[in-house]
Amino acid sequence: MVGLMHTKKGVGLAAPQIGIPLRFFVTDVPGDKPRMFINPEIIAKTENKTVFEEGCLSLPGINKDVKRPEGIIIKAFDIKNREFTLECRGLLARCTQHEYDHLDGILFIDKAGNND
């Protein structure tokens, strides 16, 4: 999946986006390493939120402003079935939330414009 994500010039890709009905996604944002999140759960979010333009490999050419928490803490399993907890900030937090939404059938356009 990381290879496909790189081919499409993305920074994240969720299994449901490519027809895999499982709860996992991958990320590879600048300044971080490629990561896999299996059965993730967001366990905390910052109160501070920021608006940032997002796009999606599922909707090429469409970009919208989306308001999201600036930081999150996520718990998941890695490829070796080891549980981990990760505090995410900046682009990693945004990407992780975006991909997590895909696991619940939510697209960024569903959240666009809700920036109050």
pLDDT by residue (tens digit) across 65-75? 999 999 999 99
Catalytic residue among 47, 54, 83, 99, which? 99
DSSP assignment of 6-25: HHTT-SEEEGGGGT--SSEE
pLDDT digits (tens, 9 = 90+) for 103-114: 999 999 999 876
Give the per-residue pLDDT at 115. Answer: 58
Taking only the tens place, the pLDDT of each residue in 1-59 is 888 898 888 999 999 999 999 999 999 999 999 999 999 999 999 999 999 999 999 99
What domains appear along the chain, each with residue ranges and CATH number? Answer: 2-111 (3.90.45.10)
pLDDT at position 116: 52
99 given a catalytic annotation: yes
